[in-house]
Amino acid sequence: MDGPPLPVGGPSWAAVAPDGALDAARVAARIGAYCWVEQQLFSVLGGWVVDIAEPDAKALVAEHAEHAGWRAQRWFELLPTAAPGADALVVAPSGMADALVRAADEGNGSERTVEKLAIAHRALGARLLAAYTAHLDWAPSVSEAAIRRTLAIAGVDLADDGRHGERLLQALTPAPADRDRARLAAAAVDEAVASAGGVVGNGTVGDRSL
């Protein structure tokens, strides 16, 4: 590590930002990864909408897909336009392409609304929110002012989606068998994301410093 660990702000817990967190190239790569993940979330959720029979769940997933698309556009607008260009930075973090394929597969089918909601809100949404929260904790208020604003807005957006998604998911899972379906689907996708190091790879949520 070059120099002392960069302390993480926010609530008091022992953590440091990953190596090179303030390096311009690393910041750009992280934003490009956010953009890619949100694009994929938009695609996965949007693809599920036609399969969902329950009107309330269909409307919720469609709305949350639109939110993911909006957030992806906001990240794209923050990417540097100098060579190699913004498009070249929107790439899958290592392992996340496989994780998103797993998510799409686990939720595939018209009878798997419970699995869709659990994957979207207990796995992908929760992991993405953790990444945004961590970045906001260590992002400098001067050099990353626009990024901080976007992180804050995106974090509130995801948290709101998660609250509404969780409420509907609980309403759809009164029976133990249904709750098991939700738990297993979310766990499978969450494990795939964890194996990738987090939604933007190793260092997604910073490092513990004990």
pLDDT digit string (tens) for 169-186?
999 999 999 999 999 999
DSSP symbols for 2-37: -SSPPBP-SSS-SEEPPTTTT-HHHHHHHHHHHHHH
Which CATH number is associated with domain 21-201? 1.20.1260.10
Structure tokens at 32: 């490009």
Helix and strand tally (H, E) in the chain?
Answer: 8, 2
pLDDT of residue 207: 81
Q: What is the mean pLDDT of the chain?
A: 92
What pLDDT digit, counting tens, does each position of 29-68 carry?
999 999 999 999 999 999 999 999 999 999 999 999 999 9
Q: What is the mean pLDDT of residues 78-107?
A: 95
pLDDT at 9: 55
Domain-wise residue ranges, the chain: 21-201
Between these two residues, 77 and 207, which has the higher pLDDT value? 77
- Digit-coded pLDDT (tens) for 156-168: 999 999 999 999 9
In the chain, DSSP assigns E strands to 15-16, 207-208
Taking residues 132-144, what's their average pLDDT? 91
How far is residue 75's CA from residue 107's CA, in Å, rounded to a whole number? 26
pLDDT at residue 1 tops 50: no
